[in-house]
Amino acid sequence: MNFSGWIKKPSKGQSGALLVTAVLFGLVSYNLYYCCQIKQRELEERQRELVKLRSEISLAEYTNSQLKAQVAYLSTDAGAEEVAREKLGLIKYGEVSFVVLGGENLSKAPLKPTVAVESADPGLMMRFMHWFFIG
């Protein structure tokens, strides 16, 4: 099949117009590509934000359910009794309460090591620095 009749060589004026058209088409294509890249980045950022917000919502719902369960428990007689005993220090009629003096301080004091730690010889340079800077 012969296509030579279908394709015509452009004239001198038409070749300049084709070049301008090709350049404009290239510029428009680049702008569209660049705009699509920007929109794609925005979309990905919004999707990451959506995942983060969904996890925060999930955590808030879990915390909310825990608080509702705690409110339900504290609304019962057993919950009220526990608060009265532990937080307020109340006792029932006929019970005897004991207070251990100094017990709170012992539990909060840091434990001291039971193994003796040998101090290493600081060496000549460290002794000099200690003497020079501290006196």
Give the integer Cα–Cα distance in Å for 57 and 4. Answer: 69
pLDDT (tens digit, 9 = 90+) per residue, 50-74? Answer: 999 999 999 999 999 999 999 999 9
Burial 23-51 (b: 16+ CB within 10 A, else e): eeeeeeeeeeeeeeeeeeeeeeeeeeeee
What single letter denotes the amino acid at residue 14?
Answer: Q
The pLDDT value given to residue 135: 60
The pLDDT value given to residue 60: 92
Give the integer Cα–Cα distance in Å for 89 and 23. Answer: 86
Placement of tokens 């017990």 in the chain: 103
**Mean pLDDT value across residues 19-45:** 87
pTM comes to 0.46
pLDDT (tens digit, 9 = 90+) per residue, 77-131? Answer: 999 999 888 888 888 888 888 877 876 655 555 555 454 545 556 677 677 766 7
The pLDDT value given to residue 106: 54
The pLDDT value given to residue 114: 52
5: confidence class by pLDDT, cuts 50, 70, 90: low
